[in-house]
Amino acid sequence: MHAIVGTVPVEDFPLVAGEASLAGNEFLIQDYKALVNRGTPALIAAAIKAGEVVGLPAPYCYLVGDIGRGDGSRRLYEFLTTHIGEFDFETITFHYLQPDVHWHNRVLEILNNRMPRPRLIADAGFMYAAKMSGRSLEYDLFTPDVGELAFLADEEAPHPFYTRGFILHEESKVPELIQRAYDHGNAARHLLVKGERDYISSREGIREIIDHPSEEAMEVIGGTGDTVTGIVAALISTGMEIVDAARIAAKTNRLAGYYARPTAATQVMEILPHIPRALEEVLHEKQRLDAEGESPSMESSSISPGMTVLDVIKRYRHTESVFKKYDEKAGECICCNALFEPLENMAAHYDLNLDELLAELEESILIDA
């Protein structure tokens, strides 16, 4: 059983607890509903969608309305100190709450005394409170974006508003910021840093880097960080190892975004329906690698059917020779006429064997390595 704790940006949304469900673009809990376009509602919806694939029941949710004043968050904190111990949750994910060190510590003490202790995931406000209280390492996973990582990395900042200016929110600085956060005890046991590239790390260092498929439009769509947190929460709730769950969640979130064909105007609710298909594909890839005794590389080198010809060649220039080999079967230059097509679409268009093509591309990567 897994739980999700957070706020809903609706002023009159009451404090509720119960199992959530989806109805179109809304989630339902008791007799109340809200759009799943971003924030905790988007996280819940993504967890439900991922849970459908892995056979996980819908999450049990503790929610309250809060539009930034903090009154709803305080009510929810107090409620948790009385009721969070009523169920034996394997995993609890804390999301948008106003950071409050006092109430955070009270909730954490209750959970630390549970046997067995649930695995704890924190994002947004609860992650801030964990860092501000000096208790980050008591968490199993944080899921910050690059800006939030900068706060974790700044050992002197008492609040995200006061993150020092010399710590720039640049993608190129992510490894440095991760190391700094661990050096000062401000990171959880694992991090899933969301951004142009997704970094998965532990105290031992960076474990995975996921950057494909890559959709530039996804970077400006609010809520995609919420969905990846929902996916990883569901996977961890199945008992999956955290690094594996984070890798699969990052790949799934990217692939779901790819299948949605996003633009700057795309909303998260348009991406959510693609999560089951994307997760099934990523899990199938993992099963194949496990069966063949392989393991994904840190750079996530495996090529998926959803990647475009351009995606593959940009990352592995030497694969261009593989595509040229298939030009004769296609009857024309693939790189000239299908550069922006997903491999699966390109193979279907030219009546090529997709499995053979993928195998040859993978083999060319191994030979070059």
Gap between the Cα atoms of 175 and 261, Å rounded: 30
199: tokens are: 């970094």
- CA Rg value for the chain: 21
Per-residue pLDDT band for 298 (boundaries 50, 70, 90) equals very low
The region, left, alpha or beta by phi > 0 then psi within -120 to 50, assigned to residue 124 is left
Q: Tell me the three-class secondary structure of 75-94, residue by residue.
A: HHHHHHHHHHHHCCCCEEEE
Q: Domain residue spans in the chain?
A: 2-291, 309-368
Average pLDDT over residues 247-253: 95
Tell me the pLDDT tens digit for each residue of 34-47. 999 889 999 999 99
Lookup result for tokens 């980050």: 136
Per-residue pLDDT band for 52 (boundaries 50, 70, 90) equals very high
Amino acid sitting at position 136: S
Beta strands in 15-70 (DSSP E): 16-19, 21-23, 26-29, 32-35, 60-65
| Closest listed residue to residue 95, CA positions, set 158, 156, 146, 142 | 142
| pLDDT score, position 285 | 84
Cα 304 to the center of its chain, rounded Å: 18
| Closest listed residue to residue 18, CA positions, set 8, 7, 28 | 28
| pLDDT score, position 194 | 94
- CATH node for 2-291: 3.40.1190.20
**Coil/strand/helix, residue 223:** coil
| pLDDT score, position 291 | 80
**Coil/strand/helix, residue 4:** strand
Gap between the Cα atoms of 247 and 174, Å rounded: 17
pTM recorded for the entire structure: 0.80
Gap between the Cα atoms of 156 and 316, Å rounded: 41
| pLDDT score, position 294 | 62
